Amino acid sequence: MKYLFLMLIASTSLAAAQNGKALYTSNCASCHQATGKGIPAAFPPLAGHFPAILAADGRKYTINVVLYGLNGSIKVNGKTYNGAMPGLAQLSDGDLAAILNEVSISWKNALPDGQKPYTADEIKAEHAAKKTPEQVHDLRPAALK
Ligand code: HEC
């Protein structure tokens, strides 16, 4: 009986790791919206913008944003956002990879040429190097305006 219970838990977390859309809905959509368009002046868009972060060499930055949050003024498509995003370091490496992969390919977003989907191992390395939301802001590619 005890083993059955453990197996149930194991299979549930495996299913969650594979379900980027559900994870996005429960962890990101309240701010960035189901459409990925965000809310003007409050929550920046991910639709039509996330690939630009990746193309600007911001892959490590994106991992740190979801892990540790973000605090500091940013500009997206010429509009300023000066909010604070909470981190989600309590999620597993697999779940965070699934969310980032979902955001990479949703709403007509696509991975830039030559970039592969995020892996749990890639998240793990950043998960071990804790940062403040301000330190994450320092990682934002300067090319993003
Ligand atoms: C409570 C609201 C909230 C939640 C939940 C949230 N975010 Fe954010 N997010 C923000 C805010 C606000 C900013 C901008 C912070 C700033 O101005 O410093 C932001 C910034 C970002 C950025 C950086 C954009 C850029 O151009 O630098 C990314 C990427 C991002 N969020 C992805 C996500 C993902 C993926 C999730 C779910 C795992 C998520 N966010 C959950 C509010 C939120």
Each residue of 54-103: pLDDT tens digit?
999 999 999 999 999 999 999 999 999 999 999 999 999 999 999 999 99
39 CA to middle of ligand 1, Å? 11
Report the SS3 class of residue 102: helix
Q: pLDDT band for 12, please (50, 70, 90 cuts).
A: low
Ligand 1 binding pocket includes 140 (Cβ within 6 Å)? yes
pLDDT of residue 9: 57
Residues paired with residue 84 on neighbouring β-strands, in sequence order: 71
Mean pLDDT of 129-136: 98
59-68 and 93-105 are packed helices; what angle lies between their axes, rounded to 10 degrees? 120
Task: Please report where in the chains the tokens 């892959």 appear, as a residue.
Answer: 59
Ligand 1: does its nearest atom lie under 6 Å from the Cβ of 67? no
Whether 74 is in the pocket of ligand 1, judged by its Cβ within 6 Å, is yes
Q: Which domains does the chain have, with CATH numbers?
A: 2-138 (1.10.760.10)
DSSP state of 129: S
User: What mean pLDDT is predicted for residues 15-28?
Assistant: 83
CB of 33 closer than 6 A to ligand 1? no
Question: Residue 74 phi/psi, 5° resolution?
Answer: -130, 160
| pTM of the predicted protein model | 0.90
- DSSP result, 43-85: B---TTTHHHHHHTT-HHHHHHHHHHEEES-EEETTEEE--EE
Q: Work out the percent of the chain whose per-residue pLDDT is above 70.
A: 88
**Residue from 26, 32, 63, 93 to probe ligand 1 pocket by mutation (most atoms less than 8 Å from CB):** 32
77 lines ligand 1 (CB under 6 A): no
145: pLDDT confidence band, cut at 50, 70 and 90? confident
Alpha carbon 103 to chain centroid, angstroms: 7
For residues 38 and 46, what is the distance between their CA atoms, to the nearest angstrom?
7
Residue 46 confidence (pLDDT) above 50: yes
Q: If you measure from the C-alpha of residue 44 to the centroid of ligand 1, how many angstroms do you get, rounded to a whole number?
A: 7
